[in-house]
Amino acid sequence: MLAQAARAMVSIQSASGAVGSGFLLANGVLVSSAHQLVNDKVMVVLPDGSKQVPRDILVDTELDLAIARVSINADQAMVLRPEKVVLGETVYALGNPLGLGLTATQGIVSAEPGAVGREHLIQTDAAINAGNSGGALIDTRGRVVGMVSTRTVLGAGIGFAVSSQAIARFVRQIEVEEP
């Protein structure tokens, strides 16, 4: 399950040296955090090491969510889970913390969307570090339940991800706007 998910994970490298994460959906849709894709010239590093400049970047700054287009093989795509997560569910945070390359950490859903005051945010205790932003939060079947967004600076073990339902709404909205 993790090996398959790893085939759809990418690293984001900016001209300033900042690093982040992203993941691929069908049709070459790249999902990442907005703060990774909007502030700098960025390069997407695919799992095979090849690099691409993302095209057609669209952002939702309120959600800190961005999507773009890259060229991929069909077997590199992840799937968004349509069902909401449940409290205590096991999840894995995938990303590129500190530019170290792909890593996975395991945790649970420690608060469901809405419990933290924002309907689109999932709280998790999976370890999240600088560079994990934009990475995938997946379930035990390898489906995306969220996009890693942020962690608290106070305390430990409290991270947040934008829910797969919010991501799906954004992707659908963009698909409708395409010519």
Residues annotated as catalytic (active site), given as ranges: 35, 64, 133
DSSP sequence for 33-81: -HHHHSSS-EEEE-TTS-EE--EEEEEETTTTEEEEE----GGG---B-
φ, ψ for residue 79, nearest 5 deg: -120, 135
Pairing of strands 9-14, 144-151: unpaired
DSSP 26: G
Are 146 and 83 within 8 A, CB to CB? no
